């Protein structure tokens, strides 16, 4: 079961690294490992403590079917300015919270994006899909928690 959460994310600048992803549909476990490796790099470069820091994974599309993953943390004075920078507009996001490993992530994401989101009392708005990773995110074990979401606005109930 996917837990649904609504969050208002603040506008911020993120610092981290970006990488073009393999095809997540045909190779979800390979993409999971690719993203985990990217996070290992960002954690080493930023010296953040993943057990106390909120991390953002931002999915950026190129308009031609390609997807780039930006692994980053909110900018802070101690961060190396050679890290990639991504302005993040924030706003209202609707998230699904996946608990489990990479093998079941595809099912959770499919349910959220294909079954729940089209019938939810929200309209999609412009902006990137986002992953939020906190202390509950680990190396893909069965207790791993990953929140994934899309930018939304609430339906106008006065239609």
In this prediction the pTM is: 0.88
Q: How many CB atoms lie within 10 A of CB 130?
A: 21
Give me the mean pLDDT over the 117-127 stretch: 94
80 vs 14 pLDDT, higher one: 14
18 vs 22 pLDDT, higher one: 18
Which domains does the chain possess? 3-154 (3.20.80.10)
pLDDT of residue 159: 46
Six-digit token string for 117: 């989101």
Largest CA distance in the chain: 50
The tally of CA atoms less than 13 A away on the side-chain side of residue 15 is 16
Q: What pLDDT digit, counting tens, does each position of 81-116 carry?
A: 889 999 999 999 999 998 887 777 778 888 999 999
74: exposed, middle or buried (Cβ count in 10 Å: 0-12, 13-18, 19+) = middle
Q: Give, rounded to a whole angstrom, the gap between the first and last alpha carbons of the chain.
A: 31
pLDDT of residue 135: 81
Indicate the angle between helix axes 102-110 and 28-46, nearest 10 degrees: 110
- Phi (first) and psi of residue 35, to 5 degrees: -65, -40
17-21, 34-38, 149-153: segment of lowest average pLDDT: 34-38
Q: Tell me which residue of 115, 141, 123, 145 sits closest to 54, measured CA to CA.
A: 145
Q: What pLDDT digit, counting tens, does each position of 37-86 carry?
A: 999 999 999 999 888 889 999 999 887 778 899 999 999 888 888 899 99
Six-digit token string for 127: 């902006």
pLDDT of residue 35: 86
Strands (E), 10-144: 12-20, 55-61, 67-74, 84-88, 91-99, 122-124, 129-133
- CA–CA separation, 130 vs 56, rounded Å? 7
Say which residue the tokens 């309209």 belong to. Answer: 123
pLDDT of residue 111: 92
pLDDT category of residue 157 using cuts at 50, 70 and 90: low
pLDDT of residue 24: 63
């Amino acid at each position: 079961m996917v837990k649904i959460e609504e969050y208002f994310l603040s506008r911020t600048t993120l610092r981290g690294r970006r990488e073009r992803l393999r095809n997540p549909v045909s190779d979800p476990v390979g993409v999971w490992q690719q993203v985990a490796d990217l996070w290992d790099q960002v954690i080493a470069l930023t010296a953040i403590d993943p057990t106390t820091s909120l991390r953002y994974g931002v999915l950026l599309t190129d308009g031609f079917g390609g997807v780039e993953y930006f692994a980053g943390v909110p900018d802070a004075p101690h961060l190396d300015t050679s890290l990639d920078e991504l302005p993040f507009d924030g706003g209202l996001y609707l998230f699904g919270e996946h608990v489990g490993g990479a093998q079941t992530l595809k099912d959770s994401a499919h349910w959220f994006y294909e079954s729940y989101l089209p019938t939810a009392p929200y309209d999609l708005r412009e902006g990137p899909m986002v992953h939020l990773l906190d202390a509950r995110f680990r190396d893909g074990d069965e207790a791993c928690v990953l929140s994934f979401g899309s930018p939304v606005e609430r339906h106008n109930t006065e239609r």
